[in-house]
Structure 1
Amino acid sequence: MTKYPPEPYRIKMVEPIRMTTREDRERAIKKAGYNTFLLDSEDVYIDLLTDSGTSAMSDNQWSGLMQGDEAYAGSKNWHNLRDTVQKVFGYKYVVPTHQGRGAENILSKIMIKEGDYIPGNMYFTTTRAHQELAGGNFRDVIINEAHDPNSNHPFKGNVDLEKYQNLINEVGPEKIPYIAVGVTVNMAGGQPVSMENLKQVRDISKKHGIKVIFDATRCVENSYFIKEREKGYEDKSISEILKEMMSLGDGATMSGKKDPLVNIGGFLALNDKSLYQKATQLVVVYEGMPSYGGMSGRDMEAMARGIYESLDYHYIEHRVNQLQYLGDKLDEAGIPIVKPVGGHAVYLDASKFLSHIPREEFPAQTLAANIYLDSGVRCMERGAVSAGRDKDGNNIYPNLETVRLTVPRRVYTYAHLDVVADSVIKLYEKRDQLVGLRFTYEAPVLRFFTARFEPVK
């Protein structure tokens, strides 16, 4: 029997959660237009919508909140956060933002020109939206295994070097300001990138004068996978691996709401002084002063402390193994999931789970709504609804049509995950009874946040 590591913490405070009835949930999901994003949290029993901003902070972080220096400029907490990022990540310059998409917005505006191409190892919703709004064209250069939910490739987030080089040959390096490399890759199932692949990406990029920019949102999880799966790194610390990984890039965007273990905040880190100066000009317009960027002093202090806490091996081992535990329970029951299990979520293969529902009736959205109906567990769609429409107005149907069961950090126990697994397994047994959904409202950009649906009759 597989042994999973116990929680490396004690619970000092609890928050009651409400168990709802089926009738309660039917009213709630109908009111929300069958979109789990539009549910009220008080109507949710176990919330696996996202790991963004939902972490439980430590006693050390909470004590840091009491030391918030809320000066408008030059806060001591800003200096602590800046110094922490420089030490842990190794970049010279730091621009604070209110969250990761603030950093994506600024990066896109200072680096992308109309008609540019931005290769990346699979798209992420907000990242691609900012790139396209800045006039750029996203091009997927991830390895083919990433689009196959049954592939057990240990580093499915890797960049396909041939695809990358072919794009350079096709459009010219002058049309590629940077390659965006997610570590890990969210839309592929939280899949990591190997250090060897990153070195090869760095070499190709350097040869052609193209910058490498990381989406470092879950870089600690990626570092853990490198330690566990890549030869030569088994004896290195998480901190050492992370520092080496970041040294292969020219900058990074960060959502502090994930690996840094806080509820709000982010930053853009860079090595190029001229880009940094452009970023500080825009952060004043869109976020706030270059010494707080949309965060309070107490938030910056909590993030600085959370960054160090995230590097603890016992913490990250437990965090990833919680996901493995849930994935193993589902896989053993015959539930189709994306393999191998990633670092922040278990992804259900909705196309196989609901194979009788056509793509244009959004099986992933349907599955997420019905998991909530069955048990009060909230999760989210990661398929055609998230992918949006192309420039001609047609739905984009990605190879992966998934439902993401995202586990917040330091929040739930293995017993909570048992409830989640039992609900999914029970729903799978009566999957043929479920019917698809159709739009009643959709926004033109990032529609999955606010779209509304109704069942197909």
Structure 2
Amino acid sequence: MTEPGFRTIIEPFRIHSVEPLRMTTRAEREVAVAKAGYNLFQVDAQDVLIDLLTDSGTGAMSRDQWAAIQRGDESYAGSPSYFRFRDAVRALFPFEHVIPTHQGRAAEKIIFGVLGGPGKLVPNNTHFDTTRANVEFTGAEAVDLVIAEGRDPRSQHPFKGNMDVEALQALLAERADDVPVVFMTITNNSGGGQPVSLANLRAVREVCDRYGKLLFLDACRFAENAWFIHEREDGQAGREVADIVHDIASLADGMTMSAKKDPMGNIGGWLAMNDDELASQCRSLLILTEGFPTYGGLAGRDLEALAQGLTEAVDHDYLRYRITSTAYLGDALQRVGMPILSPTGGHAVYLDARALLPHIDPLHYPGQALAIALYEAGGVRSCEIGTVMFGRRPDGSEVPAPLDLVRLAIPRRTYTQSHIDYVIEVCEQVVAAAGDLRGYRIIDEPPALRHFTATFEPLR
């Protein structure tokens, strides 16, 4: 733990092994991104200097996780690695049924395959991209009900990820029969990595109970959300984060998890719940698509790494470093004139592209323009979270997304402060040239999740 009075954020770990970065020139990066159709998902990783595209599966595993991998048992059924994994999940999330999957979107595919369907509505504070896509794939409608402050990039509300409880109440009063489940995403990724309070979860639980509805968590960043509760919510400061996580889980009927986020895995996920019949239906789909219920698309060594990662994810020294270092980046970017969604979230800093580039129409993708500029200027790969990702409706029409953001997602235990200082300098250069940036148009796109594979060209 850093002593009070020191300004420097130190990593609560030492570097055990390293991998090289390939230094590139601006000319090389301009060629690489043009070859990729101006889609950063299509740029080769070797052509990226600082990769902030996602925090999913990109973190560094610990010494103890690598040691745990050696214990992995690859038995097809009933592996002891599964039981260690299951028990580690239950220590934080005491659900009766724990069903491993190869990653979070597989868990979403299964649960919405069982509960979704035409005419159904699935409320959420804010659906992320794969969650929304898996809901809509079944013919159901994904409904976002985040509080008004969550749509205001400048609001300083401490829990901007909260659900609008009155809006949920109104929706259920009108169409309760069409709602199979209510979801809460913690932290709220599409809304800037903003946390949800325990008080809000309790209020949502009460509404769900009133209408007899299941409440599930999209809990990918549960530890960061619990740390924000520890720091910001009345009466929580003296508690262990693990106990706060337990309280969060006790308010839900089940969860989906991408274990590539807070559980510190390079791969993996799970689906958990208490309802026996629902679990039986989900396991049937799991066997069809993922594998036997005690491995679910994962190797035994992956299950062992996740079991260890769950213990490390709730360590107070780690979480203090994680949240403070992300805030360090956010504060510095504001000082150099880069507008961001504030307060800074846990796993990422979200740049407000629409505020920086008001001369670019939302339908010309200011987020894409900013993301490409960051890559060309300094090899920093980021992710557009705006009209490219969320502007296309199921009927094929297009509207501006509520916000046009660029996410700088920080991989766990991967980059040092000097890497982050370099990112700040790159952003400062891009801010200085913001008036010269131009928008983009899509020249080819798939019918769903277009941001992964669409190709673009710059507007001249």
Q: What's the TM-score, normalizing by structure 1?
A: 0.98
Return the offset for 1:122: 1.3
User: What does the per-residue CA deviation read over 1:237-262, in whole Å, with 9 as the maximum and x for residues that have no partner?
Assistant: 11000000110000000000000001
Map 1:14-413 to 2 at 5 A: 14-171=18-175, 173-413=176-416
What displacement does 1:90 show? 1.0
CA distance in 2, matches of 1:222, 1:417: 23
Looking at structure 2, the residues matched to 73 and 430 of structure 1 have their Cα atoms a distance apart, in angstroms, of: 58
Q: For residue 137 of structure 1, what is the amino acid of its counterpart? A: E
Of 429, 441, 446 in structure 2, the residue corresponding to residue 443 of structure 1 is 446
Which range is displaced more, 298-307 or 434-443?
Answer: 434-443
- Corresponding position: 1:5 with 2:47: no
How far 1:388 sits from its partner (Å)?
A: 4.0
- Structure 1 gaps, min length 5: none
Aligned-pair distance for 1:120?
0.6
Distance 2:66 2:12 in 1: 18
Q: What is the percentage of aligned positions where both structures have the same residue?
A: 46
> Following the alignment from structure 2 to structure 1, what is the Cα–Cα distance between the partners of residues 396 and 298?
37
Q: Could you say what secondary structure the match of 2:411 adopts?
A: coil
- Return the offset for 1:391: 3.4
SS at match of 1:29: helix
Quick one: structure 1 residues 4 and 137, their matched pair in 2 at CA, closer, same or farther if it must change by over 3 Å? farther
Q: Deviations over 1:427-450 (max 9, x none)?
A: 111111111111111111000000
SS at match of 1:187: helix
In the alignment, the residues of structure 2 paired with residue 29 and residue 196 of structure 1 have an alpha-carbon distance, to the nearest angstrom, of: 45
Deviation per CA, 1:168-212, whole angstroms, max 9, x where unpaired? 1221x2211111100100011000000001001001101110110
Q: Quote the Cα distance in structure 1 between the aligned partners of 2:347 and 2:403.
A: 17
Aligned-pair CA distance for 1:6: 1.1
Does structure 1 retain, via aligned residues, the 8 Å contact 2:363–2:399?
no
Shift of 1:2: 8.1
Q: Secondary structure at the match of 2:20?
A: coil
* Structure 1 residue matching 2:234: 3-state secondary structure: coil
Distance verdict in 2 for CA 1:4–1:250, change over 3 Å? farther
Distance 1:336 1:342 in 2: 14
Does structure 1 residue 418 correspond to structure 2 residue 421? yes
Q: Which amino acid aligns with 2:390?
A: A
> 1:330-381 CA deviation, whole Å, 9 max, x = no partner?
1122211000000010000000111111111101011101100000011110
**What are the ranges of 5 or more consecutive residues in structure 2 without an aligned counterpart?**
none
C-alpha offsets along residues 56-115 of structure 1, whole Å, 9 cap, x if unaligned?
Answer: 000000011111111111111111101111121111110100000000000101112321
Give how far 1:396 is off. 3.1
Distance 2:307 2:395 in 1: 44
Divergent runs of 4+, >4 A: none
Give the TM-score taking structure 2 as reference length. Answer: 0.98
Contact 1:118 1:136 in 2 (8 A): yes
C-alpha distance in 1 between matches for 2:399 and 2:69: 43
For 1:345 and 1:4, how far apart are their aligned partners in 2? 20
CA contact (8 A) 1:108 1:131 kept: yes
Distance in 2 between the 1:148 and 1:4 partners?
31
Is the CA contact (8 Å cut-off) linking 1:437 and 1:456 kept in structure 2? Answer: yes
AA matched with 2:359: H
| Helix, strand or coil at the partner of 1:96 | strand
Does the CA-based 8 Å contact 1:86-1:93 persist in structure 2? no
Instruction: State the aligned residue count.
Output: 456
Q: Residues of 2 paired with 1:263 and 1:99: CA distance?
A: 10
